[in-house]
Amino acid sequence: MNIITVNVGQGALAIVRHQKEAIIVDCRIPPADDSTVAYVKEIMALSLKDHCVTGLILTGFDSDHSEIVGASIVLRKYRPDWVMYPKYYKDSDEAKRVFALINAEEAARRQTNNPLRKVSVRVDQLANRCLTGLSGKFEFELFSPHIEDMDCSNNCSIVLKLTGLGARGFSYLITGDTENPRWDRINKLFGTALKAHVLAAPHHGSKNATHPASLVNIAPHTVLISAGVDSQYGHPHPQALQVYSRVAKHVFATNMEGGVSLLTQPGPTELTTTLIRSVNAPATAA
C-alpha cells in the first residue's frame, strides 16, 4: 500500500494504491494558468498506470477539494466504480457543477457494464460505520459527518479510515476540512477507534483543525499536510506543526522545498515518505 499526496497548491488530491487498486481522495486541479497543472496531470497518469481506479472520495464540496476539471478527469478518464461524498447541500456554483457532472456520469453509465454508483454518507444514518461492498482490497470506517455538527461546509467533511488489507497494508485517516468543534465530538464518540498509522492533516494544517485530544487517540506515525506554497491562509500554521511534531514521528507538507508531492509507503522497518519534486521521479508501483 502507498499514498501519493499530490502537490496541487492550496487544495487536496491524494491517490491511495494497494494490490493494483487505487482510490482517489479529492480532486483539486490547479487553475489553468498555474505552472503545476501539467505536473499534476502527469503524476496522476504515472501513478495510476496499471491500476484499477475503484473509487473517488470527495471529502467535501468546497472547490479546493472538489472542482469540475479534476472531477471530470477522474470520472471520465479513470472511470471509478463509485463516488463517495458527504450527504449535505453546498450552495455554490462549483458544487452544483460537480454534482451535475456526477449525475450525468451516473446516467450515461447506467446501462453499461461499468455503472457509476453514488455513495452518499452521513454517520448518523448508518447502522454500521464500516462501509462494505466498495473494495476487496480496503476497509472503510466512517467517523463523520454527523447531523449534530453540520454547521458549516468544513464540519460536513468526510472523516474516514481507509485500511489496506493483507501484506503491507496500513491505515490512513482521511479528514477533509473538519475543524475543532466537530473533532471534539468525534473524539468523545470514538476515542481510540480513530487510531491510524497515517493522518491527512485536517484543513491543510489550520490551527483551527488541530485537536490535541483527537491526535493522542489517532497516534499517527506520519502526518501528511496538503497546502500551497506561500498559502494565503498561512497553512500549515506554525502552531499546528508544533502539535503534530509532538504526536507523530514524521510530519511532511506539500509546500516543502518550493512544492513537492509525497510518496508514503512501508519501508524495511517503518513507513517512509519520499519527496517527489518532478515527474522524472515517479512514484513506484504498488
Q: Which residue in the block uniquely carries the three cell numbers 479510515? A: 161
In a domain, 152, yes or no: yes
Q: Is residue 283 part of a domain?
A: no
Continuous segment of H or E residues that includes residue 2: strand 2-5
Phi and psi torsions of 171, nearest 5°: -105, 145
Q: Is residue 111 part of a domain?
A: yes
Q: What confidence tens digit (pLDDT) does each residue in 174-204 have? A: 999 999 999 999 999 999 999 999 999 999 9
The CA distance from 144 to 42, in Å, is 32
- Backbone dihedral angles phi then psi of residue 185, each to the nearest 5 degrees: -75, -40
What is the distance between the alpha carbons of residues 225 and 103, in angstroms, rounded to a whole number?
Answer: 31
Q: How many independent structural domains does the chain possess? A: 1
Q: Residue-wise pLDDT tens for the chain (286 aa)?
A: 999 999 999 999 999 999 999 999 999 999 988 888 999 999 999 999 999 999 999 999 999 999 999 999 999 999 999 999 999 999 999 999 999 999 999 999 999 999 999 999 999 999 999 999 999 999 999 999 999 999 999 999 999 999 999 999 999 999 999 999 999 999 999 999 999 999 999 999 999 999 999 999 999 999 999 999 988 888 999 999 999 999 999 999 999 999 999 999 999 999 999 999 876 654 444 4
Q: Write out the residue range of the structural domain in which residue 89 sits.
A: 2-276
Q: What is the dihedral of CA 139, 102, 88, 157, to 10 degrees?
A: 50
Say if 165 falls within a structural domain: yes
Rounded distance between C-alpha atoms, residue 158 and residue 141, angstroms: 11
Domain annotation covers residue 285: no
**Rounded Cα–Cα distance for residues 43 and 66 (Å):** 18
Domain assignment present for residue 144? The answer is yes
CATH number of the domain at 184, please.
3.60.15.10
Residue 281 lies in a domain: no
Helix (H, G, I), strand (E, B) or coil at 247: helix
The angle formed by the CA atoms of residues 212, 217 and 221, to the nearest 5 degrees, is 90
Using the CB atoms, write b or e for 5-34: b if 16+ within 10 Å. bbbbbbbbbbbbbbbebbbbbbbbbbeeee
Residue 89 lies in a domain: yes
